[in-house]
Each structure stands twice: as C-alpha cells, then as structure tokens.
Amino acid sequence: MKAFHAFVEGEVQGVGFRYATLRQASLQGLVGWVRNTQEGDVEVWAQGDEKELERLLAWLEHGPTYAVVSALRWNPEEPKDRYVSFEIAF
C-alpha cells in the first residue's frame, strides 16, 4: 500500500471537483479524503494500490469537465491505518 498528499490548483472549486474525485477514487478502491482549501485549491489524501494511485494522479491533472487545472503538486506519504473509505472532508 502507498499514499500521496496532493494539491490541485486552478479553477477547481465550484465545478464538482470534490465529488468527481470521490467517485474516481472510490471506483479505484482507494481510501482517503478530498476537500477545498481556503486558498481556492483542492487538497487530496489518497492511499491504496500504487497503480490505482497513479491513475488517480493522472486524472487529477485535468479533473472533471468544467475544471481548469493549472498545477498539481503532490508528495508520496506513508499510508495511515485510519482510513476505510474515500470521503469528502470539510
């Protein structure tokens, strides 16, 4: 199991980015969370199979239809045992 912590920058709030990320991550069997930041970015913590994480990162580079991603910053992290599903955090 692997994990990453990411920040997606651009026009990513108000376009369904969190819900689309929830769907993508859940379909891939990942656990973690997604939330909006006060700075206008979307923050993601995801963990699971390395190949599935790579798929989610590739998807985060463009996001849902109405999003305009200008940058994706992410770092690998140590997985945490506390997550059992993927959720929208507030």
Q: What pTM was estimated for this model as a whole?
A: 0.96
Would strands 42-48 and 31-36 be described as parallel, antiparallel, or unpaired? antiparallel
Give the per-residue pLDDT at 32. 98
Average pLDDT over residues 5-28: 98
The string of pLDDT tens digits covering residues 51-84 is: 999 999 999 999 999 999 999 999 999 999 999 9
Query: What is the band of 29 on the pLDDT scale with cuts at 50, 70, 90?
Result: very high
Measured distance CA(27)–CA(66) in Å, rounded: 20
Average pLDDT over residues 25-49: 98
Q: Is 75 a catalytic residue?
A: no
Q: Which of 23, 35, 36, 82 is catalytic?
A: 36
Question: If you search the block for the tokens 């998807």, which residue do you land on?
Answer: 59
Q: Which of 18, 23, 73, 75 is catalytic?
A: 18
Cβ atoms of 63 and 44 within 8 Å: the answer is: no
Single-letter amino acid code for the residue at 30: L
Q: Is 18 a catalytic residue?
A: yes
